[in-house]
Amino acid sequence: MRPSHTKALVDLIKQYEWRAFHYVYDSEEGLYRLQAILQALDDRYKYHVRMRRLSDVTAAHEDLRALDKLNKLENRTETFIVMDLSKEKHYPKVMQQVREVGMNKQGYHYILGTLEFLNLEMDRYQHGGVNITGFQLVNYSSDYVREFLKIWKQIDSDIWPLGGYDHIPLEAALAVDAVEVIQRTIVQLFTNYTSLYQLTFRRGEIYNYNKTKGVPCVDPPVPWMHGEALMRGMVSLHIPGVTGNIQFDEFGFRRDYKLDVYNVGLNNAPSKVGEWTTKHRMVYNNDTTTTMDKNLTSDSAYKVTSIMEEPFLMLREKPPPDGKPYVGNDIYEGFCADLAKQIASRIGIEYEIRLVKDQTYGVLVNNETDEWDGMVGELMRGEAQIAVAPLTINSERERVIDFSKPFMDIGISIMIKKPEIKKPGVFSFMKPFTWQLWMCIIFGYIAVGIGIFFVSRFSSAEWRRLPTDRKLAYNNFTLPNSLWFAMGSLMLQGSDDTCPRSASGRIIGGAWWFAVLITISSYTANLAAFLTIEKLLTPIESADDLVKQSEIAYGTLRSGSTNAFFKDSKVSTYKQMHMYMDTKPSVYVDNLNQGIQRVRESKGKYAFLLESVHNEYANNRKPCDTMKVGHNLNSNHYGIATTKHLPINTAITLAVLSLTEDGTLENMKKTWWIDKGECQFQTGHRESKKKSLSLSNVAGIYFILIAGLVLSIIIGVCEFIYFKSKPERVPSAMVYMMPGVDSDCTDDDVPEEVKLANHRSSNGPCSPVNGNAGKNNYFGYLTQYSPPRITVDVDSNTAV
């Protein structure tokens, strides 16, 4: 009948964030429960638990003192004790001794595993400063219990020892409910199975089906034949009772029950602070929290510390519509001003925003005295209770103050001055290939031209007969023709009738075409990107880039979590960065504005390390000359900070969560970051913008075309002038050398028209080429056929 309070204990421990506590118990059962508690604490290695078993609950002074002494030895200022005793009646006994040994002062916190907190006379503890939390199963304000107590009060306490009072001990309440359960089950059993009565109960006696009398108490005992049916009936029961809703799970344990959570503290009579239910776990009452909370809400408003940081908190610029000056919290605007307002209205508290005196976030300034500056210090010293600011959650701070669940995700990022945007030049069509590749193409072109020239010379397939004189053969692949063929292929144009017919020539041609195909396709694929992209070439892209160079200085805020991150980091890059910054303290800045200004003014020679949301905001403000580079260095969050164990912590967290869930925070972020943005483009997104190609991107190719045209006109004019002075219009014949071909060249052999064509040659048509005398060097003349061809007498295999 007694519901388990293990999960409720776990939730309280988690809620209070007791990382180190004493677990005091007095029976095996307590030990089992501790095991269950440790298993239920998510990361049990984070918890430091000391167990102490009380061998005699009436003589626990020594155990309590020993426990206290241990705590003092460890220099702990606060003592957290979970007391989990096997019987309700043990609690008053041990608590009495707690008073006697003086462990009922400020600094002592207890969670009691009792389920009858209200019967413990807790009002005795409201002046010592101790803080005690426990559970109450019987809900005296429920109608059922009130009705029941009316009868309970009237019964004779001489006959019924616990009755006759206006309250009921837990044991009695459980017994009452147990009887109720049995009675209801039997009634239900009889209703569903009417003949059971006749078979089982006769003349006040219990019978079995086999007609034997009574429950057979033999050895080994045999269960009563109806036991199982009765059990099944009880498990399926769902009734109200003195101890609340009565329902059992399949194993016969209580389910769907509720425990009221009570607390007593300094000047705070035992009061209900919340409820623990199996369904919703711990739910706190916002209006009936503890003394501190009550005092604050009634006497004075919560002091909320914050820091002037755009767009989190700023002084209102626009005058009010009615002309009256702003007062109180209204003088501020910004994300944090809105957030504080939303949270206060959701949890129903008054607050007053005060700017942090030293305008810093907070770092540990003195290790020995655990002294902090900034907002963290103000919370620790009690100068403020809440900090609503872009305050980063980190483990060092979590040790001394409490944080709500995060309201914004951030990470440390790098801000630099935006570099000039590089426009593609007029020769950007050259960019798709590196110069090495261009050289390869040129050499390939020359090699193929020469290669095909040579192989064609040796191959008979390339020699054709002259249509006018079948005795004569000619070869198309002169050197210029070969080069022209290679050029035609490269430009995907082909070259008229100059096409290889020999196998060797075709192999070279095929290989060249394949190379050209791939080259041109790759070029085309790359070209678009190089012609249209306006590239933002940033000098650094990451923290590693920063470390590797010495030209650009970099720094962080002097006091804050970003600085602490680099200081404590074990990553070598960040360690090096910290070393650099520490050896050059001038890189630190006092506030974010100073850092951003420094980036803007130092012509790209200073990079600022700051949290991403500040970075994004500043980049979206005029003069729009800063940008964020690279990924965030870490991932972190902003949370609302409060003094340790402020009773409204949970309420604040719940409010933050509901603001996140209903999208309010997202909207607020949009309002202050996007809607108030002043720059057209977000940094780094220019590349993605589609643009049509402009002349400036491709002007280079027209320069080449113009140069080609001009050159050809000049050469044309030169040719004209040159040939004008000569009467012959026939182009000069050319002589080719072809080793191995015997030539009997005499002037008589040469046809008249060829002679005419060679008129200009001072030495005559059979003259040695390049001054190399000797018949064997000739292989023939070129006739006036155009384009120039090599002609050979086929019969005599003699070149003519």
CB of 398 to ligand ASP, least distance (A): 12
CB of 361 to ligand ASP, least distance (A): 3
Across the beta sheet with 258-265, the strand order is: 48-53, 20-25, 79-84, 108-112, 131-136, 258-265, 268-277, 281-284
> What is the token pair recorded at 738?
């072809």
CB of 390 to ligand ASP, least distance (A): 5
Q: Which is nearer to ligand ASP, 119 or 556 (CB)?
A: 556
What values do phi and psi take at 397, rounded to 5?
Answer: -70, -40
Q: Which is nearer to ligand ASP, 81 or 336 (CB)?
A: 336
The CA-to-CA distance between both ends of the chain, in Å, stands at: 126
Q: Which is nearer to ligand ASP, 131 or 615 (CB)?
A: 615
CB of 415 to ligand ASP, least distance (A): 12
Give the strand pairing for 131-136 and 108-112.
parallel
CB of 553 to ligand ASP, least distance (A): 18
For residue 447, CA distances in Å to 202, 453, 486, 512, 533 come to 121, 10, 9, 10, 35
Peptide bond into 647 cis (omega under 30): no
CB of 143 to ligand ASP, least distance (A): 51
Positions touching ligand ASP (CB under 6 A) are 361, 390-392, 557, 560-563, 610-611
Please give the full DSSP string across 122-139, using - where no structure is assigned.
Answer: GGGGTTTB-EEEEEE-S-
- Residue from 28, 66, 29 nearest 50 by CA: 66
Name the helix (H) or strand (E) containing 407: none
Q: Which is nearer to ligand ASP, 114 or 556 (CB)?
A: 556
Q: Which is nearer to ligand ASP, 314 or 699 (CB)?
A: 314
Peptide bond into 623 cis (omega under 30): yes
CB of 61 to ligand ASP, least distance (A): 47
CB of 316 to ligand ASP, least distance (A): 23
Biggest alpha carbon–alpha carbon distance for the chain: 162
Q: Which is nearer to ligand ASP, 372 or 474 (CB)?
A: 372
**What is the crossing angle of helices 479-490 and 503-532, to 10°?**
40
CB of 559 to ligand ASP, least distance (A): 7
Q: Which is nearer to ligand ASP, 288 or 635 (CB)?
A: 635
Give the strand pairing for 641-642 and 386-387.
antiparallel
Cα–Cα dist 10/758, whole Å: 114
For residue 91, CA distances in Å to 1, 35, 78, 94, 201 come to 20, 21, 22, 5, 43
CB of 342 to ligand ASP, least distance (A): 20
CB of 598 to ligand ASP, least distance (A): 15
Helix residue spans in 312-402 (DSSP H): 335-347, 374-380, 395-400
CB of 562 to ligand ASP, least distance (A): 3
CB of 369 to ligand ASP, least distance (A): 21
Q: Which is nearer to ligand ASP, 564 or 750 (CB)?
A: 564
- Is residue 647 helix, strand or coil? coil
Cβ neighbour number for residue 708 with a 10 Å cutoff: 10
Quick one: DSSP state of residue 427?
A: T
Q: Which is nearer to ligand ASP, 23 or 554 (CB)?
A: 554
Cα–Cα dist 724/713, whole Å: 16
Q: Which is nearer to ligand ASP, 220 or 585 (CB)?
A: 585
Q: Which is nearer to ligand ASP, 384 or 610 (CB)?
A: 610
CB of 383 to ligand ASP, least distance (A): 18
Q: Which is nearer to ligand ASP, 258 or 558 (CB)?
A: 558
CB of 632 to ligand ASP, least distance (A): 12
Q: Which is nearer to ligand ASP, 274 or 390 (CB)?
A: 390
Q: Which is nearer to ligand ASP, 153 or 637 (CB)?
A: 637
- Is residue 456 helix, strand or coil? helix
Quick one: DSSP state of residue 431?
A: T
Q: Are 285 and 274 in contact (CB under 8 A)?
A: yes
Cβ neighbour number for residue 205 with a 10 Å cutoff: 9
Q: Which is nearer to ligand ASP, 390 or 406 (CB)?
A: 390
> What is the token pair recorded at 125?
């503890």
Q: Which is nearer to ligand ASP, 465 or 669 (CB)?
A: 669
CB burial string 67-102: b at 16+ within 10 A, e below: bbeebeeeeeeebbbbbbbeebebbebbbebbeeee
For residue 716, CA distances in Å to 660, 729, 746 come to 80, 15, 35
Instruction: Tell me which residue has its CB nearest to ligand ASP.
Output: 560
For residue 513, CA distances in Å to 444, 524, 525, 527, 570 come to 11, 16, 18, 20, 57
Q: Which is nearer to ligand ASP, 361 or 606 (CB)?
A: 361
Alpha-carbon torsion angle 736, 741, 747, 751, nearest 10: -80
Please give the full DSSP string across 517-551, using - where no structure is assigned.
Answer: HHHHHHHHHHHHHHHH--B---S--SHHHHHH-SS
Across the beta sheet with 798-799, the strand order is: 463-465, 472-475, 790-793, 798-799
Q: Which is nearer to ligand ASP, 242 or 313 (CB)?
A: 313
CB of 374 to ligand ASP, least distance (A): 8
- Residue from 561, 627, 518 nearest 364 by CA: 561
The length of the chain, given as a count of residues: 800
CB of 638 to ligand ASP, least distance (A): 7
- Residue from 335, 350, 493, 321 nearest 407 by CA: 335
- Is residue 274 helix, strand or coil? strand
CB of 611 to ligand ASP, least distance (A): 5
